[in-house]
Amino acid sequence: MGAVPPLADGFSARPETASALESALVPGAVVVLVPGRVAAGGSRDWLETCGKTQLAVSFAEWLWHSGKVDLLVWAAATSRASVLSGYVEAAAAAMGADPAVDADVVAARFIGWLAETSRPWLVVLDDLSHAADLEGLMPEGPPGRVLITTRNPAAISAEHRALVLPVGAFSPREALSYLMGRLTADPDQRLGAIDLVQDLGHEPLALAQASAVIASSVLSCRDYSGYFTRRREHMAQAASGQLAAAAITWTFSAEQADRLSPRGVQPLLALAALLDGNGMPAEVFGTSAASGYLAGEGAGRPGDREIAQGALLALERVGLLATDPAGTPTVRVNRVVQAAVRAVTPGEMLDRAARAAADALLEAWPENEQGAWPAVALRACAASLKRAAGELLWAGGCHPLLLRVGESLDRAHLAGPAVAYWRELAAVSERVLGPDHADTLAAGHRLAHAYLAAGRAAEAVSWFQWALADRSRALGADHPGTIAARLNLGRALVTANELGDAVTVLGAAVADYERVCGADHPDTLAARDELAAADYAAGQFAEAVRLYRRTLADRENVQGPQHPDTIATRQKLADAYMADNRLKNALSQYKRVLSDRERVLGPDHPDTLAARASLGSAYHSAGRMASALQLYEQASTSYEGVMGADHPDTLACRAKLAHAYYAVGRLTDGLEVFRDTAARCERTLPPGDPLTQAVRESLANITGG
């Protein structure tokens, strides 16, 4: 799972300088690849580009193709959101986890599964930036391997007991072998190879760039070495110190790319220098926004895309970027090269590139984010652009791209990262645009929703109160936006368990909707359902029944008896009847819900399975155990077949079945199901999960342990 980068052309396995990796990365180990040596001054960043990711790719592919691991997870670790996204994708594939659940919950389940499974696995966390991004997310387990690459050794906490392996320059033999392997078309170009290898200090990146320029020209190694020596002397004088070889070789690469493709190379390189070097969807460079920018116009034409294609090809030929056509076509650029490009690009061109990049990312962003990696890559590119562009994206207001990133985090159920993102966006918007600007208000509203999704109800209530006051002041009390804000505040109050206030606020929202929209408007019916749910939570079951009955009648009249919303309201009415101890009424409604679910959705739809289990619970409460057992057994079998044996809904249903067995005296069956369910809960659910605790307590009560 994940977008594993391809091996570079002429890749060297480095048998002399990286041989320790194979013996170190054994089952149960955590190995970290870090830069082997750095120098002071301007050379430091260049010498950190030592080929760590390429070694990780090579070893991961070897483990996979040799059959030594059954699961390979590759996750970009440049942010906590990207790590969580990688875990969610892997959990969905390996465990059948529901990706619509909060990402932290799914990630915790996945880490628990890795700790318990007996099957061998490898998790690669590439380009880790900060230790906080891995807090609570470090996988471990006897059959598992964890491989991390980072430019910052401090990003690895001592508690992980990781083995740190420095990766530095090639050995002289590796460097010469690499260079000779890259220059096979014309043997004469190899003349002077030994001297060039020494001149370049055996640096992997410098050798890659130099060999790419030589291979795409008529130069020999001796020719290149002469040019390199003269430029190094000139640049060293300007820099007042010694420079890494790659700080010089990249300039030759840029010049050669210009010769190969005179149009578009410099502006495209500037654009690529602003995005995430670990992976940019190639589609971004084919957008009309990017094409127009490269052509020097406001909007791209179909023919302008050839400029981008030519520039990409030229830059790849000289070693300044790499393209991966497999899967989602991807462009990768070394981060140090990006920084160097930004440093020498004129400010006016960089500003134009930043505006074009923002427009291109927005244009390339799909409305339906199917598949984890494209969304992760686009979010990472937007984050990189935001850091590089500063307040340029706020000229005239918040650029829509910044809102799209937050919405993407919300849709991916990345609740924690979404809160952090919207909080920062609201703060920047208030500082740059002012507290009353529409974009500041919009960011604040989204922050309130993010707090609620993250389960931080008290903070959500505070922000929803602010949002309601803002809407009332700006739009008036009867505006739909103001009424919706009042409804949102009511929801937050319910979540915060401030039920008295919630009933008051939701009651006002229902009255507003009835007055403005009408008693049977869909928004009114939805608000009345919310009020009934608040009454239910407050223990006012009779009032909840009254509201649900009224809403059900209106929905049947307006939407029809088979509409999903009608069936959902009937389910809630049945629950309210049960809570009010009106079992006969509850059973009648539960039966109708199950019949409607089977007719509309089919017998194996998750909502149908839930309806079957609910009816079983109602029969159980009514003492009709034969019917309860039959429904529990049917639901349990169906859940396992549809959702999987370890899905939380399957486990919850099995717990009910175990209780029913015990209630009718089938103690052996009940004990067996309890023990199996407890073991599965311990293995697959996050630590402290309420279901795990409930099953464990029930088992202890039965066994007396």
Three state DSSP letters for 37-90:
CCCCCCHHHHHCCCCHHHHHHHHHHHHHHCCCCCEEEEEECCCHHHHHHHHHHH
Calculate Rg over the CA atoms of the chain: 30
DSSP letter for 185, please. S
Q: Is residue 366 part of a domain?
A: no
Verify that 161 and 224 share a domain, yes or no.
Answer: no
Q: Please check whether residue 282 is in contact with residue 331, taking contact to mean a CB–CB distance below 8 angstroms.
A: yes
Structure tokens, 473: 């002041």
CA angle 250, 223, 234 (to 5 degrees): 55
d(Cα 520, Cα 565) in Å, to the nearest integer?
A: 13
* Rounded-to-integer distance, Cα 210 and Cα 213, Å: 5
pLDDT band (50, 70, 90) for residue 483: very high
Check whether residue 669 and residue 696 sit in a common domain: yes
Predicted confidence (pLDDT) at residue 144 exceeds the cutoff of 50: yes
Average pLDDT for 24-52: 77
The answer, yes or no, to whether residue 356 has pLDDT greater than 60, is yes
Please give the mean pLDDT across all residues of the chain: 91
- Host H or E run for residue 145: strand 144-150
> 105 vs 274, which has greater pLDDT?
274
pLDDT at 40: 42
Stretch among 370-374, 445-449, 471-475 having the lowest mean pLDDT: 370-374
Query: What is the pLDDT confidence band of residue 261, given thresholds at 50, 70 and 90?
Result: confident
155 in the same domain as 191 = no
pLDDT score for 635: 93
**Residue 216 pLDDT > 50:** yes
pLDDT of 159 higher than 80? no
Give residue 556's identity as a one-letter amino acid code: E
Phi/psi of residue 8, nearest 5 degrees:
-70, 155
Query: Which of 123, 141, 167 is the last residue in one of the domains?
Result: 167
Please compute, for residue 661, the number of CA atoms within 13 A of its CA located in the half-sphere on the CB side: 20
pLDDT bucket at 315, cuts 50 / 70 / 90: very high
Asked, for residue 326, whether it belongs to a domain, the answer is no
Q: Mean per-residue pLDDT for 251-278?
A: 93
- Examine the domain organization and report whether 56 and 157 are in the same domain: yes
The answer to whether residues 150 and 225 belong to one domain is no
Please give the pLDDT value at position 236.
83
User: Running DSSP on this structure, what letter comes out for residue 136?
Assistant: T
> Which residue, of 146, 167, 188, is where some domain finishes?
167
Asked if residue 552 belongs to a domain, the reply is no
The answer to whether the CB of 121 falls within 8 A of the CB of 145 is yes
Spatial distance between the Cα atoms of 4 and 470, rounded to a whole number of angstroms: 47
In this predicted structure, the answer to whether residue 372 has a pLDDT above a threshold of 80 is: no
Last residue of a domain, one of 258, 288, 320: 258
CATH of the domain at 659: 1.25.40.10
For 59-87, how does the pLDDT look when each residue is reduced to its tens digit (9 = 90+)? 999 999 999 999 999 999 999 999 999 99
Across the beta sheet with 280-281, the strand order is: 280-281, 330-332, 322-324
Q: What percent of the chain has pLDDT over 90?
A: 73
Question: pLDDT tier at 270 (50, 70, 90 boundaries)?
Answer: very high
pLDDT at 702: 81
Same domain, 222 and 160: no
Determine how β-strand 330-332 pairs with β-strand 322-324. antiparallel
Is residue 430 assigned to a domain? no
The whole-number pLDDT of residue 319 equals 92
Q: Global pTM?
A: 0.84
Q: Are 163 and 177 found together in one domain?
A: no
More confident residue, 155 or 562: 562
Helix (H, G, I), strand (E, B) or coil at 265: helix
The string of pLDDT tens digits covering residues 449-477 is: 999 999 999 999 999 999 899 888 888 88
Residue 291 lies in a domain: no
The pLDDT confidence band at residue 360, using thresholds 50, 70 and 90, is very high
Mean pLDDT over residues 397-416, rounded? 95
Task: Read off the pLDDT of each residue in 440-452 and give the average, rounded to a whole number.
Answer: 93
Question: Within a domain: residue 319?
Answer: no
Identify the pLDDT of residue 100: 84
- Please report the pLDDT score of residue 493 as a whole number: 96
Query: How far from 668 is each of 259, 661, 673, CA to CA, in Å?
Result: 81, 8, 9
CA distance 328 to 376: 12
Same domain assignment for residues 24 and 160: yes
Q: Cα–Cα distance between 148 and 107 in angstroms, integer?
A: 18
Judged by average pLDDT, the poorest of 43-52, 593-602, 688-697 is 43-52
Separation of alpha carbons 74 and 126, rounded Å: 7
Distance of alpha carbon 194 from alpha carbon 225, whole angstroms: 10
Domain that holds residue 135: 20-167
What pLDDT does residue 370 have? 65
**Together in a domain, 191 and 160:** no
pLDDT for 272-308, tens place per residue?
999 999 999 999 999 999 999 998 755 455 556 788 8
CB atoms within 10 A of CB 701: 11
- Over residues 330-356, the mean pLDDT reads 93
CATH code, domain carrying 24: 3.40.50
Q: pLDDT tens-digit profile of 613-632?
A: 999 999 999 999 999 999 99
Statement to judge: residues 214 and 121 lie in one domain: no
Same domain? 100 vs 204? no
Give the CA count within 13 Å in the CB-facing half-sphere of 307. Answer: 24
pLDDT digits 0-9 by tens, 567-586? 999 999 999 999 999 999 99
User: CB of 629 within 8 A of CB of 641?
Assistant: no
| Residue reference for tokens 């010498």 | 47
Residue 44 has pLDDT above 70, yes or no: no
Q: Compute φ and ψ for 219, nearest 5 degrees.
A: -75, 155
Domain presence at residue 188: yes
Q: Tell me how many domains the chain contains.
A: 3
Q: What letter represents residue 651's amino acid?
A: L
The one-character DSSP state at 394 is G
Are 639 and 625 within 8 A, CB to CB?
no
Reported as a pLDDT band with limits 50, 70 and 90, residue 39 is very low
> Same domain for 145 and 178?
no
- The answer to whether position 440 is within a domain reads no
Which of these ranges, 89-93, 194-198, 686-690, has the smallest mean pLDDT?
Answer: 686-690
Reported as a pLDDT band with limits 50, 70 and 90, residue 37 is low
